[in-house]
Structure 1
């Protein structure tokens, strides 16, 4: 789920200038600024700088402005001075800067008290200062920031559109969003279940560690620097994108999140993958568990955030040959069992059950397998199972064991009469041969033993041999399964023995051929 982009992360634009930052600009410092009231509001963002001498300037503002004035129209009228400050407060101005001079040689006490009550920063300049220099400096910086935000937005749109056009998977899009935002990115459904993540692995793990609690706070806007964008279309919402701990300006982060959300909606509508996002999430987690590339402990936050109960649970790793993940996921819901189902990279479907420790794991596994046979109408369907585990770190080995069992019985369950739930102890010699199938000595042995049939390319005789050995050399059953008479079967067995140079009535020779055939079949599959 989580990957690190090979390209260098893009740094988010700097935050908008605050009142405090404006006062530290070199040009402003030349005016010897002094904050005389409202110091608690110095971190307010300055959206624009406005020079105004009108007493009713508040009606001209839209919020976030730093107002520059000499107060020439306010001198001598304390009522007007107080109302001037109150009107700026109502207009949500960022601050007011008063240049001392003929109108006000010292900070006016009435304005200072009013500003303190309103929490509006009041700054006085002790030296004559050309307001034009301040407006030019601040507004040029603000314009650069706005341009940088728009450029970032367009870069994100262009990059994500190119990925969608190229048929990139969901994860690649999220990686690109994380690169531009320089923070962890989380995709969830409406139930706050994590479907995918991107960003630096350690940072993502920190975000997911207490996900159930923080997700609801983030969705309600209660967490600073967490920016959320809704995903949906045609009047229906179905997900949420979160930028977790975005360090740039909030407005820029919202713009970036909106662009990313638009791309994700388009990706989903165009069907970028045959799997739903929920299915991709389960597949990614189970594949990482089986591969062992990522330590199981590091995958625990992802499993919890994906909705899998992990505290004080019994985990049962299962692999079901020839079953669609959607069928198994539906069966889990019908039985009221917690678990994840997904097709692994090698084409087999894995299921990880998470059961309360006071519930019988073996009985519930048997119930799952029985209902699978009933629901699919396949009386020969099997569920390969590993032993239950109460330790999360043992789950990867359990999944690999279940996959090994499934591979050992694939295509042979009907002939062997296996139970609905098959474990390692049930696969016997077939399981051992499956483990050794890549060994060159085993491969050479299989070729040597079966060469008389393989070199002649006689699949019918090979199939008769396979059935004859699988049924315990039962001639009557073999003839019945191949719909031939006993004399016809005898002639075929004689042909097989002649080509292989063996006596199938001899136990040791028959066992040798059987092992070679099991190895051959394992290699072919």
Structure 2
């Protein structure tokens, strides 16, 4: 097994949890000192890492950054040069703020220090009432320690929960749901090209994030404004993705810890998946195409996901295809060789769907035929490519996927499948295709049951098979007898039994056609 250094993503070490200057000034104990911000009011969201009480004029050399310095200014009174230098030294040391207690040294806010702090952008606060600095340091230090403990506790809770899910073999989506629950914001996983591989969180919030993903994902820091926290995904010196907490509302350092624990778990999940499991890219395409084909989620709501996954969707022609029994990886390879944008995924029962996205000026039928021809050359045995008509509207894609699936189903049990073209469309499967499209209609189901009742009430598979062959061969008795390895007299007896049970005359074209349609509907309903 790989070492810890191999399995963990190369992420930064987050700083300790902090309070902002604004939060410190809002504490009840501080409010008792009647604080007034006299400079740097625009910088009150600066993080306070520590509180330091110091009267030394050269306090800056003792700081490491992020401190709120408390002073009475007793060593600065009467020397304006020292006052200005004092503020400059705090600025150079990257102090968070300076708090001056008014009293004997400074009965009013010193103008020199105020102007210097305003120029530097350093928050300067004066306390108009006497205030014991020890109380403030105690209060802030206790809060910082509690925040640190809470952050570490959350980090370990998340690590334990995610490890349990990985051990149980949970899919990627389940891990992301757990992360989203702890973070309280949308979670997005992307590859290095910023294409979205997976998401989690409340659907409306996720859709808002994805709606303009191409722009915001490339901004510095991983997203616009505060609360966008990212962690790199990778291992063994290679980086291959990114996890983003989108709009995290908690403490940034805690969010950093949470993102890091999540990244570690995702890297481990990917490594344990091995080469046999679908890649995250394949899982993303599968989720999107499955949702499109099912129609459970409106197509318009899936548009941000498709765009974020890298599928061109603006002013495009969409061609839904179904290739039963094909290898998704092989289909994806053919798409890349031909330079055709699209998504490939195995939906269910070995059925592989392909959604091509073509420019409006491209010939959809020509490129689909080219794809089918190249596919036959790549895979050996000629696969059936069932195609729906091109769709110019994204809202029509779900119906197109269902149409392609119907065509594939109709071809699967067609006696004339070998005579069909390389790309099969609804017009090529004729009556069988129509019946497949209508198989779930209650009227069609009732019709099939009524017409075949005599054979279905006391089922004899052999009679149904004979009827199926007889009608499929155009009522050719010689061919039917040959295919069932029986003599013509034996076939005549079976046909007579069929006609008696159904109460029809199979020599009558209309009655035979009615039985044929009913049998096609029955077979379609039975799958």
Structure 1 and Structure 2 fold alike (TM over 0.5): yes
Superposed CA RMSD? 2.9
Query: Which residue of the partner structure matches residue 29 of structure 1?
Result: 31
Query: Which residue of the partner structure matches residue 59 of structure 2?
Result: 57
Query: Which residue of the partner structure matches residue 133 of structure 1?
Result: 135
For each residue in 1:278-307, what CA deviation from the matched residue of structure 2 results, as whole angstroms up to 9, or x when unmatched?
A: 111111111111111111111111111111
Instruction: Map 1:98-247; keep pairs closer than 5 Å.
Output: 98-217=100-219, 223-247=225-249
For each residue in 1:304-344, what CA deviation from the matched residue of structure 2 results, as whole angstroms up to 9, or x when unmatched?
A: 11111111111111111111221211111111111111111
For each residue in 1:486-524, what CA deviation from the matched residue of structure 2 results, as whole angstroms up to 9, or x when unmatched?
A: xx6647645643664578777567656644653454344
Query: Which residue of the partner structure matches residue 8 of structure 2?
Result: none
1:96 aligned to which of 91, 95, 98:
98
Query: Which residue of the partner structure matches residue 350 of structure 1?
Result: 353
For each residue in 1:26-46, what CA deviation from the matched residue of structure 2 results, as whole angstroms up to 9, or x when unmatched?
A: 222222323333333222111
Query: Which residue of the partner structure matches residue 72 of structure 1?
Result: 74
- Alpha-carbon distance in structure 2 between the residues aligned to 1:83 and 1:489: 114
- Alpha-carbon distance in structure 1 between the residues aligned to 2:58 and 2:221: 40
1:371 Cα offset (Å): 1.9
Matching of residue 299 in structure 1 with residue 305 in structure 2: no
SS of match in other structure, 1:344: strand
Instruction: Map 1:113-512; keep pairs closer than 5 Å.
Output: 113-217=115-219, 223-271=225-273, 274-379=277-382, 381-412=383-414, 415=417, 417-435=419-437, 437=439, 439-443=445-449, 445-446=451-452, 448-449=454-455, 455=460, 466=468, 469-472=471-474, 490=488, 493-494=491-492, 496-497=494-495, 500=498, 511=513
For each residue in 1:172-229, what CA deviation from the matched residue of structure 2 results, as whole angstroms up to 9, or x when unmatched?
A: 2112211211211111111111111112222212111122111111555664321111
| TM value normalised by structure 1 | 0.86
Query: Which residue of the partner structure matches residue 3 of structure 1?
Result: none
**CA gap 1:464/1:152 in 2 versus in 1, 3 angstroms:** same
- Alpha-carbon distance in structure 1 between the residues aligned to 2:479 and 2:417: 11
- Alpha-carbon distance in structure 1 between the residues aligned to 2:65 and 2:199: 36
Query: Which residue of the partner structure matches residue 38 of structure 1?
Result: 40
- Alpha-carbon distance in structure 1 between the residues aligned to 2:71 and 2:518: 96
For each residue in 1:384-408, what CA deviation from the matched residue of structure 2 results, as whole angstroms up to 9, or x when unmatched?
A: 1111111111111111111111111
SS of match in other structure, 2:343: strand
Matching of residue 17 in structure 1 with residue 19 in structure 2: yes
- Alpha-carbon distance in structure 1 between the residues aligned to 2:342 and 2:45: 48
| TM value normalised by structure 2 | 0.86
- Alpha-carbon distance in structure 2 between the residues aligned to 1:91 and 1:511: 92
- Alpha-carbon distance in structure 2 between the residues aligned to 1:481 and 1:180: 65
- Alpha-carbon distance in structure 1 between the residues aligned to 2:423 and 2:258: 50
1:433 Cα offset (Å): 3.6
1:75 Cα offset (Å): 4.0
Q: Is the 8 A contact 1:405 1:423 kept in 2?
A: yes
SS of match in other structure, 2:170: coil
Query: Which residue of the partner structure matches residue 6 of structure 1?
Result: none
**CA gap 1:473/1:136 in 2 versus in 1, 3 angstroms:** same
- Structure 1 gaps of 5+ residues are 1-14
**CA gap 1:179/1:446 in 2 versus in 1, 3 angstroms:** same
- Alpha-carbon distance in structure 2 between the residues aligned to 1:124 and 1:293: 61
**CA gap 1:330/1:446 in 2 versus in 1, 3 angstroms:** farther
- Alpha-carbon distance in structure 1 between the residues aligned to 2:165 and 2:200: 16
SS of match in other structure, 2:140: helix
For each residue in 1:79-130, what CA deviation from the matched residue of structure 2 results, as whole angstroms up to 9, or x when unmatched?
A: 4433332222121111112223334444344433432332222222233211
Length, aligned pairs only? 502
**CA gap 1:108/1:511 in 2 versus in 1, 3 angstroms:** closer
Q: Is the 8 A contact 1:218 1:226 kept in 2?
A: no
**CA gap 1:437/1:388 in 2 versus in 1, 3 angstroms:** closer
**CA gap 1:447/1:426 in 2 versus in 1, 3 angstroms:** farther
- Alpha-carbon distance in structure 2 between the residues aligned to 1:415 and 1:476: 22
**CA gap 1:62/1:491 in 2 versus in 1, 3 angstroms:** farther
- Alpha-carbon distance in structure 1 between the residues aligned to 2:220 and 2:202: 20
SS of match in other structure, 2:314: coil
Q: Is the 8 A contact 1:449 1:513 kept in 2?
A: no
- Structure 2 gaps of 5+ residues are 1-16
Query: Which residue of the partner structure matches residue 10 of structure 1?
Result: none
